[in-house]
Structure 1
Amino acid sequence: FTTCPSVHAADDVSVMETLEVIPHLIRSARAFMGERLPLRVGPSQLGCRENPYGASTAQNEANGRVCLTRIDPRQRGLFNAAWIVGYFAACAREGIEAVAFGDFTGPFGFVYRRGNFAQPWFDQQDGPMVYPAFHIMAGLSKLGGASLLSVGTSGIDS
């Protein structure tokens, strides 16, 4: 299965809070499927590939935080890198076999390529560039077979 964190709300806090539901979605999927098949998640990313409620995704020429849009400017920034770490951690804790995020280039990409949508700052630069999440993906790609460490904190955010 796949998810999109900006279906109901697109502000930064709400999108990050969607990470809290990932374990529940995984447990629900397992309740339907049972344990006989490995569970894989993705491709998941900040932007929306398809609008489940309409004919197309929302337009976002202004690069804002918009629900159900294909073009989410946070895909190109540190926000996406942090979101991927949280998403991957939630999936790892639930024993997911594989997780896929985004695409190589384009609206859900990790490598900049001039496209048919505005990519402020990147469009004004010369030469090849990668988005911050590229480095997260490079690190995660080396974790196959690694042990999962459980960490916690004594404090609770309010």
Structure 2
Amino acid sequence: MDKLEVLKRSDVFHYLDDDDLKEVEKMCTPEVFEAGSIIGKQDAESDKLYVIEEGLVSIMLELGPTDKRQIQTASNFECIGWTASIPPFRCVCTAKALERTKGLAFNGKELRNLVYTNPKLCAEIAGGVAYVISQRLRAAFTQLMGVTYQD
């Protein structure tokens, strides 16, 4: 699948118009993670935002040195690493590829610096990041309550 199609279908960029999507497309690079690879480590610096093209990623909360709990997963067209765009730019969870995962990587600083060159696009991306955060929070609340959310 081409990059533009992945971005159109992504949770973080899906609402952008075609011109903005083409601009964002120029900012990403493809990356591949083999099963078991750590994509982001809880409390480590977060410098890249990813859109998963194909694959499955575990989002885990580390409660101690040997205690990890998977709280969510992310798969095709979902964003991980949104913390690269929000201060203090540190991973809030650990992200681990459960299978070979292809993604589009964005430099978080480059996305943030759009505020100087294209403030409208920067604001739209921030809205997309807020959407991703709200969906993850809703899923976490639902999981906490032991209720399955359905549309």
TM-score if structure 1 supplies the norm length?
0.30
Higher relative contact order (CA 8 A, sep 6+): 2
* Structure in which a larger fraction of residues adopt strand: 2
